[in-house]
Amino acid sequence: MPPTPSSPTFSAADLRFSLDLPEWVAAELNLLPPTLPTLAERMAEVIRFSRLNFQSQTGGPFAAGVFERDTGRLVVIGVNRVMASGCSSAHAELMALSLAQKRLGAYDLGGPGLPAHQLVVNWRPCAMCYGAVLWSGVRSLVIAGEGPELEQSTGFDEGPVHPQWRGELERRGIEVHPDVLREEALAVFREFSASRQFVYNARLGKHGP
Amino acid sequence: MPPTPSSPTFSAADLRFSLDLPEWVAAELNLLPPTLPTLAERMAEVIRFSRLNFQSQTGGPFAAGVFERDTGRLVVIGVNRVMASGCSSAHAELMALSLAQKRLGAYDLGGPGLPAHQLVVNWRPCAMCYGAVLWSGVRSLVIAGEGPELEQSTGFDEGPVHPQWRGELERRGIEVHPDVLREEALAVFREFSASRQFVYNARLGKHGP
């Protein structure tokens, strides 16, 4: 007997989801050198990817890279894929961390036998991605900046990050490097804002049913 | 010319990842009625799935369900898949929200044309999942409890959630229903603890390189 229309029926396919990066990312990654020794070099690439993402209309102006902290060896750079993939958690940090964990075969990037890993992001992570950094096992977080400029220029809501966010990271063995190429990152947000692309901000100030 | 061993080379497959629920979940979901009218009925199922998940050794003792808020129509129930899938962000809430968004074809569960949706979780979401709730578009969060009992009995680190976490949700149009079947949820955490399964807590207090 076929299920009634209102009956939930679940197949294995209904209980699986996939997220991916746009095609241009593979081509760009394959052009990069295997290592990017300085924090500024790593951030410059992350910022370049954040610009390419909104210019290519493949996602918002956000990118995040995972590197080996001490050598700068590239693991992967991810970009925001929320609207493209229909998944509100497909932020750049979650894409990069999940793909790095797949690539290295480890849900803990700071686990036994692995070198220390670092996440490089073109602004302070939002409330969700802040938590994702904690659980990822990275030992180092590099950000282009923090503060209201991102929300002011783009309209994105970054959510309530804990007031002691930095101390809570350091308490868990995660060092923070702020203000790496801050002006360069802000320039991308201003370009994005000027492009008048749609911003999904979970209706802050616009409450529905 | 083949790439040198140290050269990063990325294929499309390297830039995609998939997460899924264990096989038993589909069977259990297909046994449920299409709607669960009361909050207690919804939470009872979520708690049952949290217990099944650790007993089946398919993940930690956490589950989360997405329902239509007003009718109780079931969308999906997810469970924790961190260790099973090698992905530190595969918490129950992220699994449930992402699968619900796939099922409904919308990255915003509160978007135009959709009824209000509700997330039901067997404890207050961790720092990461708290942010994921904000971005998911759900209008309602039901939790079995909050407070240190979860961390005390299991050893999991829930991370630094914002001190005004509830007000910040309500400010974004998300109502909170606390303490639904609190004792029943705590019983599962105690059973999990007694089972002495491995707990991944991002090395709080155990700092590596």
CB-nearest partner of A17 from B35, B102, B160: B102
Q: What is the tally of structural domains in chain A?
A: 1
For the beta carbon of residue A109, count every other beta carbon within 10 angstroms. 24
What part of B 135-174 touches A (C-beta under 8 Å)? 135-137, 139, 157, 159-165, 168, 171-173
Residue A208 lies in a domain: no
Does the interface ipTM go beyond 0.90?
yes
> What DSSP letter does each residue of A48-85 carry, written as one string?
HHHHHHHHTTSS-S-EEEEEETTT-BEEEEEE--HHHH
The answer to whether B89 and B128 are in contact (CB under 8 A) is yes
Taking residues B125-154, report their average pLDDT.
Answer: 95
User: What's the confidence (pLDDT) of residue A93?
Assistant: 98
User: What's the confidence (pLDDT) of residue B202?
Assistant: 61
Least confident of A154-163, B23-32, B175-184, B195-204: B195-204
Residue B1 lies in a domain: no
Residues counted in chain A: 209
Least confident of A39-48, A72-81, B82-91, B197-206: B197-206
DSSP 3-state of B188: helix
Which CATH number is B153's domain given?
A: 3.40.140.10
Q: Please state, rounded to an integer, the average pLDDT across all residues of chain B.
A: 92
CB crowding B82-109: b at 16 or more within 10 Å, else e:
bbbbbbbbbbbbbbbbbbbbbbbebbbb
Q: Which two tokens stand for residue A158?
A: 């970054």
Determine the structural domain holding residue B67 and report its residue range. 33-195
Residue A178 lies in a domain: yes
Q: What are the DSSP E strand ranges found in chain A?
A: 16-20, 63-68, 74-79, 117-121, 140-143, 175-177
Residue B7 lies in a domain: no
Nearest to B198 by CA among B158, B155, B159: B155
| Predicted TM-score of the model (pTM) | 0.93
User: What's the confidence (pLDDT) of residue B131?
Assistant: 97
Whole-angstrom Cα distance, residue B49 to residue B60?
A: 11
Residue A182 lies in a domain: yes
Q: In what order do the strands lie in the sheet with A63-68?
A: A74-79, A63-68, A117-121, A140-143, A175-177
Residue B206 lies in a domain: no
Residue B45 lies in a domain: yes
pLDDT tens digits, one per residue of A46-60: 999 999 999 999 999
User: What's the confidence (pLDDT) of residue B177?
Assistant: 98
Q: How far, in Å, are A15, A183, A188, B102 from residue A176 at the CA level? A: 36, 18, 22, 35
Cα A57 → chain centroid: 16
| Residues B89, A130: C-beta atoms closer than 8 Å | no
Half-sphere exposure of A122 (CA within 13 A, CB side): 30
What kind and span of H or E run contains B18? strand B16-20
| Bridge pairing between strands A175-177 and A140-143 | parallel
Residue B149 lies in a domain: yes
Instruction: Give the chain A residue whose CA is nearest to the CA of B68.
Output: A209
What residues contact residue A112 under an 8 Å CB cut-off, 6+ apart? none
Q: Which of B6, B10, B140 to mutate to test the interface with A (most CBs of A within 10 A)?
A: B10
A202 touches chain B (CB under 8 A): yes
Regions of chain A short of the pLDDT cut 70:
1-8, 198-209
What residues contact residue A89 under an 8 Å CB cut-off, 6+ apart? A82, A128, B89, B94, B97, B98, B132, B135, B136
Least confident of A148-157, B30-39, B96-105, B135-144: A148-157
